[in-house]
Amino acid sequence: MAVEKQADKLKTSAQANAEELSEVSVEQKLVALYTLQQIDSQVDRIRIIRGELPLEVQDLEDEIAGLETRVENLENETNDLNGAIAEKKQAIKDSNTLIKRYEEQQQNVRNNREYDSLSKEIEFQTLEIQLSEKRIREYTQKLEEVGEQIATAKARLVERSADLDVKKSELQSIIDETEKEEQELVNTSKTNEKLIEDRLLIAYKRIRSNARNGLAVVQIERDACGGCFNKIPPQHQLDIRMHKKIIVCEYCGRILVDHEIAEKYKI
């Protein structure tokens, strides 16, 4: 694999003249950093290929969970409404039974006061029946509305579940295609990190984490920084070509390498 060959080449170059990391030349440090950047950039490109798919999958899973909860709540509400309707129907039956009883009792009353009292009871039960019928109509209408909401939510659930299956399939396909390559690059990156002293490695990771494009090491292009594209003073360009010290862009803080290193160690 090209990356592994380059890493082997880098190891040889970085360890050629010294056994201790602290004795590695500035040029070798720059080569190590530039090679590490290229490896990490390849990992970034693989992950960019996946794009927003993992987030889209998560969003769909969250939406589906929300829809399932909504359907469950609506179905519970349906059960409650059906229960309430059944209670009101039973209340109507009970009221009709009482009305029939009171009407029978009216046939045997001994005075007007008893008759009037029974009439009031009949009137009250009649009002109870009317109120129960009104509640049944309200619950029935609400039941229809909830039924429509359930149908809409279930249709949406089916639609989003199908979308999730497609997104998961796409994501898995990309993972299957790139997982092995990504893991090889990650392992090579970790191996390459061992050739870089901790101070530089920490600085590299800090710069990389703050850079929008993940570039911590860039070459000079047309007398400008390859990261922020600000002009590099001629004296700084000369110092960079000399490979005597590690120089960073005064504008963006990225580590700079010259065209020679970039071309010689390009992966």
- Which tokens is 31 given? 């080569």
Question: CA-CA distance, 265 to 143, in Å (whole number)?
Answer: 72
pTM strictly above 0.75: no
Please give the C-alpha separations between residue 176 and each of 46, 117, 180, in angstroms, as whole numbers: 12, 85, 8
The DSSP secondary structure of 65-112, one letter per residue, reads HHHHHHHHHHHHHHHHHHHHHHHHHHHHHHHHHHHHHHHHHHTT-SSH
Quick one: tokens of 142? Answer: 């609400």
Q: What is the pLDDT of residues 221-261, one digit of tens each?
A: 988 989 899 999 999 889 888 988 888 998 898 999 988 88
What is the predicted pLDDT for the residue at 166?
Answer: 93
C-alpha pair distances (Å), 159 with each of 71, 145, 206 = 14, 21, 43
> In which band, very low, low, confident or very high, does the pLDDT at 17 lie, cut at 50, 70 and 90?
very low
Q: What are the tokens at 262?
A: 């970039």
The whole-number pLDDT of residue 3 equals: 42
Residue 13: pLDDT band (50, 70, 90) is: very low
pLDDT tens-digit profile of 175-206? 887 778 778 888 888 887 877 888 888 898 89
pLDDT at 66 over 50: yes
Q: What is the pLDDT of residues 124-180, one digit of tens each?
A: 999 999 999 999 999 999 999 999 999 999 999 999 999 999 999 988 888 887 778
Domain 53-177 - what CATH class? mainly alpha
What is the strand order of the sheet 224-225 is part of?
224-225, 217-221, 255-257
Q: 57 near 167, Cβ under 8 Å?
A: yes
Tokens for 46, please give them. Answer: 């693989």
| Residues forming a β-bridge with 221 | 224
Would you state the pLDDT for residue 185? 82
Mention every residue, 6+ apart, whose C-beta is less than 8 A from residue 57. Answer: 164, 167, 168, 171
Cα-based angle 65, 69, 73 (whole degrees, multiple of 5): 170
pLDDT at residue 9 is higher than 90: no
